[in-house]
Amino acid sequence: MQPLLLEIGPVAIYAYGVFVAAAFLAGMGWTMHEAGLRGLDKTRVPALGLSIIAGGILGARLLYICIDPQRFINDPLEIPAIWNGGLVFSGGLAGGVLAGWLTLRKQPHKMQWADAMAPGLALGQCIGRIGCLMAGCCYGSMCTLPWAITFTNPQSLAPLYRPLHPTQLYHSLSGLLTFLILIMVRKRLKRPGDATGLFLVLFSVQRFVIEFFRADYRGEIGMFSATQVVTGVFCLLGLILLLKNHARSKRNV
């Protein structure tokens, strides 16, 4: 079976920004829904969302720059050019969490807010990664499987005329899976921090595995990519949060 030929033209390239914007809006909208279910003040979501968007973009870009600093030393004007690709979701997650915490630092129920944002983050990844596919960034390694894709337009950020793993779609599907799991088990996640911990573990494990199929440069730390190390830290934090909640609930029984 021949790999799918993906013609990435100018319209598709510009769709990158459209899908990223749609991801932020969908994430914000779902967070409002979750906030309402948890008895939180939904009117805070727009301001919270804007701060998370700003922190997320900054964190995603900073991690990308740290992974390949020489490129930006040679061409500093590329630093703000996010329309050419170069947003690392793991950095965006860290930057968004930090920005959200700073926005809510004087408010009660911080962990409940984190739980409310978790499904929206997963939904945002699901949508935003389609933009990565349109731009050809975050591309995969060589692939001989039936679902391999081949980029053919010179404007694509991916290598041309090579069958590649559609890692952008892997990321999108993993975001959708995480979102669905969080929604389906919502009633069982009764303790503040449960949803956040589960999100961190699911996201980290899936991202760690998908990294093995990526071919774009993401930095190296020993035998792993820099992104795998970052997601390993996220996974550890998620496990600690879940285990602490479990231990606390057993003491209260």
Lowest mean pLDDT across 70-79, 195-204, 234-243: 70-79
Query: In the structure encoding, which two tokens stand for residue 40, read together?
Result: 């939180």
Residue 219: predicted pLDDT:
72
Intra-chain end-to-end CA distance of the chain, in Å: 58
Residue 237: predicted pLDDT:
92
44 annotated ligand-binding residue: no
Secondary structure of the chain in HEC code, one letter for each residue:
CCCEEECCCHHHHHHHHHHHHHHHHHHHHHHHHHHHHCCCCHHHHHHHHHHHHHHHHHHHHHHHHHHCHHHHHHCHHHCCCHHHCCCCHHHHHHHHHHHHHHHHCCCCCHHHHHHHHHHHHHHHHHHHHHHHHHHCCCCECECCCCCCEEECCCCCCCCECCCECCHHHHHHHHHHHHHHHHHHCHHHCCCCCHHHHHHHHHHHHHHHHHHCCECCCCCEECCEEHHHHHHHHHHHHHHHHHHHHHHHHHHCC
In the chain, the percentage of residues whose pLDDT exceeds 70 is 90
CA contacts within 13 A on the Cβ side of 238: 19
Domain that holds residue 232: 4-251
Residue 15: predicted pLDDT:
75
Q: Write phi, then psi, for 146 (nearest 5 degrees).
A: -60, -25
| Selected residue with higher pLDDT from 248 and 27 | 27
**For residue range 176-235, what is the model confidence (pLDDT) as tens digits?**
999 999 999 988 888 888 999 999 999 999 999 999 999 987 777 778 887 888 899 989
Contact 59, 87 (CB under 8 A): no
| Selected residue with higher pLDDT from 169 and 2 | 169
- Number of separate domains in the chain: 1
Residue 66: predicted pLDDT:
79
Residue 164: strand pairing partners: 142, 149
Residue 196: predicted pLDDT:
93
Contact 34, 120 (CB under 8 A): yes
In 3D space, the residue among 59, 113, 45 whose CA is nearest the CA of residue 234 turns out to be: 59
**Residue 98 class from Cβ within 10 Å (0-12 exposed, 13-18 middle, 19+ buried)?**
middle
